[in-house]
A and B are shown apart, each in its own frame.
Chain A
Amino acid sequence: MKLGKIIEIVEGTPLFEFDLDQEIPCGGAADLMSDVLALVEPGAILLTGLCTPQVVRTAEMADIAGIIFVRGKQPMPETIALAREKGIPLVATALPMFEACGRLYQAGLRSCDISCRIPWRTAGDAEETDR
């Protein structure tokens, strides 16, 4: 699903300019950063209620494609500055977490919890073929 479409579904506002055509394979939601690191696949969109710069750091480590802040929360200016620097799109929505996730899931965005079933594997591992 295109990032632009995702923003439209959650009635979100981009917090700075970025590429809306980027393809997002799946989504995940968590407020605990270790959960994000454990559950989310590379390239996913993250829905969270946490607005500290650590969310962006976590996204950087876990190769997360973008972050949606739920329930009308505005991230700190440092958070926005860091995301801009790292090229990680930020979006704010007034919807609560449950509804934002529900709308996206209903629209066909799949949940990314592969790594929780095959603990040490990531989606990238599965895709790489040896030639």
Chain B
Amino acid sequence: MAEVTRLHELTYEVKIGDVMTRQVITVEPRTTMAELRAILRDHRISGAPVLEGDALVGIVSVEDLIKALVAGEMGASVGEKMTRNPVTVRADESVVMAIKYFNRHGYGRFPVVDARGKLVGILTRGDIIRGLLRQLEEEYHREEALRYRVSHIFEELISDLTSITLRCRVEAQDFESAGDASSKIKRALSRLAVPPQIARRAAIVTYELEMNIIIHTTSGGEILAEIQPDRIIIRAVDTGPGIPDIEQAMQPGFSTAPDWVREMGFGAGVGLNNVKRCADEMLIESPNAQYTSVKVVIYLDHERRPAEKAA
């Protein structure tokens, strides 16, 4: 739990200016939509602030571009198609405020301005996640140097990738703490500025897998959630018994749960289907029916989502 609390504190301590992207690609009001298309494509971005001299006058996104494309107005200027007076955030505000703005407005990015209103950067949810992970990683290395080790149920393992891994032990038959692991993971995700609908999918996956370990194993297992800047990887590994026929277990309605579990509202045989529905990728294995390992990937970025899911 210590890490989650630290993460929460960080969202107050770290300023938007610390995590924003400083090199902003900007356009001018007189830029044409056709030129904008090339700029967005070349820089692989999905929007840009519009500057007139030094003054921020608007913001234009790939959505505006699509509208112009559909209307056959690619010759129009950005000045005509942009959103005027965009909502901005200030570089000296805390990251926690930015997370609130993202949730309130639903925008993909905010121009960042200084105290005098001058554009100094741009902020996406990805910038926040990367920034907070970087901060945690630095602190982790400092702690390592002090030979200080924080680890209870909740452990943070930093690899060479910028990522954070939350690890939760799940006990068999322990219905009283059922949902604890999922609750912790969900809280960590929302503090990392993961969009709410993605945090919800990850929480549902974790919860179903957690319940499976509680209901079906003899001595429990473990759930690991690895958060990377572009994806969440959830792994549930137990100590068995495994699943003799995975195809059958994936059938909606198939369940081996005893009656008393069903009385608690679980064991209806749709859990693994729920997991699959919320996952962008899912791999379930049960070698020789000895134990079960489930790996789920959820992408944070819509564009990276495999084509069949994005349709």
Residues of chain A touching chain B, judged by Cβ–Cβ distance below 8 Å, are 31-35, 37-38, 42, 50, 52-55, 57-58, 60-63, 119-120, 122-125, 127-131
Within 8 A of A (CB), among B174-223: 175-176, 178-179, 182-183, 186, 195-197, 200-201, 203-204, 206-208, 211
A131 to B158, CA, bound (A): 32
Within 8 A of A (CB), among B243-287: 264-266, 268, 270-271, 273-274, 277-278
A34 to B108, CA, bound (A): 31
Nearest residue in A to B197 (C-beta to C-beta)?
A: A124
**B197 touching A61, Cβ below 8 Å:** no
**B63 touching A129, Cβ below 8 Å:** yes
Give the residues in chain A near B183, CB-CB below 8 Å: 57, 60-61
Nearest residue in B to A42 (C-beta to C-beta)?
A: B200
8 further contact pairs, Cβ within 8 A, besides A53-B176, A129-B106? A38-B270, A42-B200, A55-B265, A119-B277, A124-B195, A129-B108, A130-B62, A131-B83
**B266 touching A62, Cβ below 8 Å:** no
- Interface size counted on chain B using CB atoms at 8 A: 41
Give the residues in chain A near B46, CB-CB below 8 Å: 130
Residues of chain B touching chain A, judged by Cβ–Cβ distance below 8 Å, are 46-47, 59, 61-63, 83, 106-109, 175-176, 178-179, 182-183, 186, 195-197, 200-201, 203-204, 206-208, 211, 264-266, 268, 270-271, 273-274, 277-278, 302, 309
Nearest residue in A to B200 (C-beta to C-beta)?
A: A63
Give the residues in chain A near B211, CB-CB below 8 Å: 33
Q: What's the minimum C-beta distance from A46 to chain B, rounded to whole angstroms?
A: 12
A63 to B197, CA, bound (A): 9
**A57 touching B196, Cβ below 8 Å:** no
A128 to B238, CA, bound (A): 36
A54-B175, A54-B178, A131-B61 in contact; A62/B274 too (CB < 8 A)? no
30 CB-based A-B contacts, threshold 8 Å: A34-B208, A34-B268, A34-B271, A37-B207, A37-B208, A38-B273, A42-B200, A50-B265, A54-B265, A54-B266, A55-B265, A57-B179, A58-B265, A60-B203, A61-B179, A61-B203, A61-B204, A62-B200, A63-B200, A120-B201, A120-B278, A122-B200, A125-B197, A128-B106, A128-B195, A129-B63, A130-B61, A130-B63, A131-B63, A131-B83
